[in-house]
Amino acid sequence: MSETIPLRERIILALDVERPELAKAWVERTEEAIGFYKVGLQLFLAGWFDTVEWIAKRGHKVMLDLKLFDIPETVKLAVRQLNGRGVCLATVHGQPPIIRAAVEAKGDVKLLAVTVLTSTGEEDLRAEGMTGTIAELVDLRARQALELGCDGVVASGHEAARLRAGLGQDFLIVTPGIRPADHNGQDDQTRVMTAGRAIANGADHVVVGRPITRAADPLAVIRAMQAEIAAAVGKNREPHF
């Protein structure tokens, strides 16, 4: 885990909304506390690169989360389109042929390999005919991605500590499925974790959407999560004997 990332860039706010106007309103509402935003497939199709470039021109970083998955040549050409657009991080699925193609064209964009979606459970792997565990699949895909030139991985907080122990510190881990400490609800994520715990486990950034955008006081939720993160970073700096 990098200790030099500014606190305002640790949380990546997921702009999972249907219109660019709503996304821009959320940026304006939260940018005093946050400097990193995720544009996913829904918003990208609604606003295309205009939304990405608008966020970047305000001095913020953008994670373009399209999870590219196609034949290698198509992925390479798609990644090439991201250069010079203000995209900091972009996601691709973690299969070796896709990663090789994406790395060839990444230019000024850092690539994150999606290991296993956080909505996936062990029973889903069984349904697909896989006999291994999620942990084994994450480890395999992460190792392959880094060997092929990816800058990091998307992985749940549950896998972050193991990936750090096995693969070292010289790569990014971005963790979705983040929930507040008092979260008890049910949603489409099966492998969730608090922001502080994910950072303590070795994540560099956490992606947060609904816990912020559905909160009565979004800035209060952000500040609370940032306090957890600051405590986790501080604890990781303490010497261990």
- Which residues are known catalytic residues? 67
User: Considering only CA atoms, which of 75, 60, 70 is closest in space to residue 13?
Assistant: 60
- Given a contact cutoff of 8 angstroms between Cβ atoms, the answer to whether 11 and 223 are in contact is no
Please name the residue that has the structure tokens 């998307």.
154
Q: What angle do CA 218, 160, 96 make, to 5 degrees?
A: 110
Please name the residue that has the structure tokens 């501080």.
234
CB atoms within 10 A of CB 170: 9
Q: Where are the beta strands (DSSP E) in the chain?
A: 11-14, 36-40, 61-68, 89-93, 110-114, 152-154, 172-175, 205-208
